[in-house]
Amino acid sequence: MIGESELILNARGSVYHLDLRPDEIADTIITVGDPSRVEEVSKYFVNIEFRKQRREFVTHTGYFAGRRLTVISTGIGTDNIDIVLNELDALVNIDLESRTRNKETRRLKFIRIGTSGSLRAEIPVDSFVVSEFAIGIDNLLNFYELHYSDQERNLLHAFVNHVQKDRISFIPYLASSSASLLSLFKDKITSGITVTCPGFYGPQGRLLRAPLAYPHLTSLLSSFRYENFLLTNFEMETAGIYGLSQVLGHDAISLSAIVANRIRNEFSQDHEATIDRLIRFALEKIVSD
């Protein structure tokens, strides 16, 4: 039995932070960072059967092209991803009344639709990137038992050797996208390795007033190469989603609208339109699966 302090439930039998019950979510879940973006996705649903908001976590469940979908906001960062993915997994793989793990597990599909900064001059603003791999420099998955394939281990080892040239002190981890979900998008948009950072300013090499420990971080990341793999972009959630999905036995893919090119020092002139294009593109691909 899982103790009350480990799995906290609300009075209505819902999980603590998300305030959701098992029947209120679909097996295919779109995650967005911004709570206001939930409605930007669900406005394309034929109908919305359920709405809930608690803290920064907004949830809508409804139908698009006959497929039941949930869209949920995570807020920014992998600390929130830790909450969202664990509680969504609990909804489908733990009996909340008996507080025991189900003998048979359900596999969820997570599709992140978010924004990102390009680490390649040739990946322009207002384009899309799908993350084949994600490297986390945020530390979340170092608290979980994440197992690597030989390819993942070699890729992570090459990245660690590369960043150690600049005496970087963080401990990175690496996780892969779902092969089946990746196949829906890889031939249509740019794919590559996404770096997940623990912040927006210093951890992504932005210099305002606070002096940076790693002032050349952006150029260091953009210069990484291993076989045919390049670092394409960075953001703040993907590695956490991929890593926890692997640990918990779910499928995940991350789609990013490129709103900034950090090499060219450019920002999108209409990023909301770009995000809307990505939402519509993702929805059509999701229901084609």
pLDDT confidence of residue 165: 80
pLDDT confidence of residue 166: 75
Q: Between vectors from CA 143 to CA 1 and to CA 100, what angle results, nearest 5°? A: 15
pLDDT, tens digit, for every residue of 204-222? Answer: 999 999 999 999 999 999 9
Q: Is the pTM of this model over 0.85?
A: yes
Joined tokens for residue 240: 């956490």
pLDDT, tens digit, for every residue of 267-280? Answer: 999 999 999 999 99
Structural domain spans, the chain: 22-288
Q: Higher-confidence residue: 166 or 256?
A: 256
Tell me: pLDDT of 289 over 80: no
- How far is C-alpha 255 from the geometric centre of its chain's CA atoms? 8
Give the pLDDT mean for 26-51.
97
Spatial contact of 226 and 159, defined as CB atoms under 8 Å apart: yes
pLDDT confidence of residue 45: 98
pLDDT confidence of residue 15: 98
- Alpha-carbon span 180 to 192, nearest angstrom: 16
- Alpha-carbon span 61 to 45, nearest angstrom: 9
The residues, any chain, with a CB within 8 Å of residue 214's CB and separated by 6 or more, are 166, 168, 205, 220
Tell me: pLDDT of 191 over 90: yes
- Alpha-carbon span 282 to 265, nearest angstrom: 27
Spatial contact of 266 and 228, defined as CB atoms under 8 Å apart: no
In this structure, which topology does domain 22-288 adopt according to CATH?
Rossmann fold (3.40.50)
pLDDT confidence of residue 249: 98
Give the pLDDT mean for 179-202.
95
Confidence of residue 131 (pLDDT cuts 50, 70, 90): very high
Joined tokens for residue 203: 């951890």
Percentage with pLDDT > 70 across the chain: 100
**Over the chain, what is the mean pLDDT?**
96
Tell me: pLDDT of 167 over 90: no
